Amino acid sequence: MIKVGCCGYPVSMKKYYEKFSLVELNTTFYNYPRTSTVEGWRKKAPEDFEFTVKAHQDISHKFKLKPEKECIEAFEKMKEICKILKAEILLIQTPASLRPDKLEEVEEFFRKVNRENLTLVWETRGPAWETPEIREKLREKLRELDVSHVTDPFKTLPVYTGEVAYFRLHGLGEKLYYYQYSDEELRRLYETLREYEEKAEVYVLFNNLSMFDDALRFVHYIKDGSFPSLTGTVGLESVRHVLSKTRYPTTKSVLLKRVGWRLVEIEEGKQVRLEKLLKEVPSKTYNNVDELMKEIKV
Read off the pTM: 0.95
What mean pLDDT is reported for the chain?
A: 96
Q: Find the mean pLDDT for residues 22-34.
A: 97
* Domain limits, CATH 3.20.20.410, in the chain: 2-224
- Judged on CB neighbours under 10 Å (0-12, 13-18, 19+), 98 is buried
Query: Who contacts 40 (Cβ-Cβ below 8 Å, separation ≥6)?
Result: none
Tell me which architecture the domain covering 2-224 has in CATH.
Alpha-Beta Barrel (3.20)
Interval 210-223 mean pLDDT:
97
**For residue 8, which phi and psi values (nearest 5 degrees)?**
90, 175
Q: State the pLDDT at residue 198.
A: 87
- Say if residue 221's pLDDT is above 90: yes
pLDDT band (50, 70, 90) for residue 167: very high
CB 154, CB 172: distance < 8 Å: yes
- CB–CB of 193/204 below 8 Å? yes
| Confidence class for position 175, pLDDT limits 50, 70, 90 | confident
Give 8-24 pLDDT, tens digit per residue: 999 999 999 999 999 99
pLDDT (tens digit per residue) in 239-298: 999 999 999 999 999 999 999 999 999 988 899 999 999 999 999 999 999 999 999 998
